[in-house]
A = this chain, B = another copy of it.
Amino acid sequence: MLNGVNNAGGRPRVHHAFLDWGTNDCRIWLLDQEGSIAERIESATGIQAVPKGGFENVLTEAVSDWRSTHGPLSILAAGMIGSRNGWVEMPYVPTPSGLADIARATRRVALQSGDVITFFPGLTDPNARPFPDVMRGEETQLAGLGLERDLVAVIPGGHAKWARIAGGRIESFQTFVTGETISCLVAHSFLARPAVRPAQTNIGAFERGLAIALNPDSSAGGLLARLFSLRTGWLAAGLMADEIADCLTGIITGWEFVEARDAGWFVAGDSVVIVGDGDRTDLYRRAAVASGLAPTIASAELGPRGALSILGAAGLS
């Protein structure tokens, strides 16, 4: 049990902050006593902008106002800050793993400021082929979703994750390089060169892309062949310049679902939980429906709740 500011006559209270320090940005959320997000700090000071050994100073400065107001903080740090390029390199806990397994691998460090930071481990799926798969940060989102219900969760992203929760544990997971392939091809390919980016997602164009990906005709080939539909669809079917980027997004997003189905993640009629917010989540919901799944949406901001659940499982709250 961490001791923070003592309320006069009350039980000791400590304020938690959840730290999501990625490669290119830094988000810190001050949590209220229920674990909900009370205040937010966001900056463009990503891990790669901080010299080795400089993380403590940057963080201490970033949360100084909160410390002045609330006393020493308990900072919960998941994700890339615990990677080889981050502050400390945390281990990967092998699946299947429950809250207590993850909790046992956390590491607490007392900072000069009086704050205490708890680093969370990543997860590895040793049974994944061709190599053990890895995640960092998504495991706290999955813990926040709750491990009581058996389900399959999809976390969209540059490196999207599909994960199976069963028997109170994260049982297995797999990564798909979807967002990154989309953004590279939209920005840099000749195929997308005629593209004009509309201000808003063109849903019709996205769904044309989904239909291209999900077309069951095996003669249409896989992703590499279907991507050429951006050219042939332009010539043969009137695909417009302001539809190309969203159609490309639809082809690649749809193809993630084709791969996930073929790899055994679902059969038509299954349920799936999509973890995310905003436009991309809606596109994944559409891809799930088009693939015969029954999707529900969970907020991407599950990390704080998950981190507190993990600490609770270890009696560390």
Interface residues of A (CB under 8 A from B): 23, 128-134, 158-159, 174-178, 180-181, 184-185, 187-191, 211-212, 215, 217-229, 231-233, 235-237, 252, 255-256, 258-260, 262-264
Contacts and interface: CB of A to CB of B under 8 A. Distances in A.
Contacts of A187: 188
Which of A158, A159, A217, A221 has the most CB atoms of chain B within a 10 A radius of its CB? Answer: A221
A23 B190 contact: yes
A17 to B, nearest CB: 27
Nearest to A224: B176
Given A130-B212, A188-B187, A159 B221 contact: no
Nearest to A127: B219
Contact of A232 (B132, B219, B222, B236): B132
A129 B259 contact: no
Contacts of A260: 221
A175 B129 contact: no
A256 B187 CA distance: 22
Given A184-B189, A262-B218, A177 B130 contact: no
A189 B180 contact: yes
A186 to B, nearest CB: 9
Nearest to A234: B131
Given A185-B181, A221-B176, A259-B224, A131 B232 contact: yes
A174 B225 contact: yes
A280 to B, nearest CB: 15
A222 B257 CA distance: 10
Contacts of A263: 218-222, 225
A134 B235 contact: yes
Nearest to A212: B130
Which of A174, A225, A264 has the most CB atoms of chain B within a 10 A radius of its CB? Answer: A225
Contact of A258 (B134, B215, B222, B231): B222
Contacts of A256: 224
A233 B264 contact: no
Given A132-B236, A174-B221, A222-B223, 18 more contacts: A128-B219, A130-B217, A132-B235, A134-B231, A134-B235, A159-B231, A175-B225, A175-B228, A175-B231, A177-B189, A181-B181, A181-B185, A181-B227, A220-B263, A221-B260, A222-B262, A222-B263, A225-B263
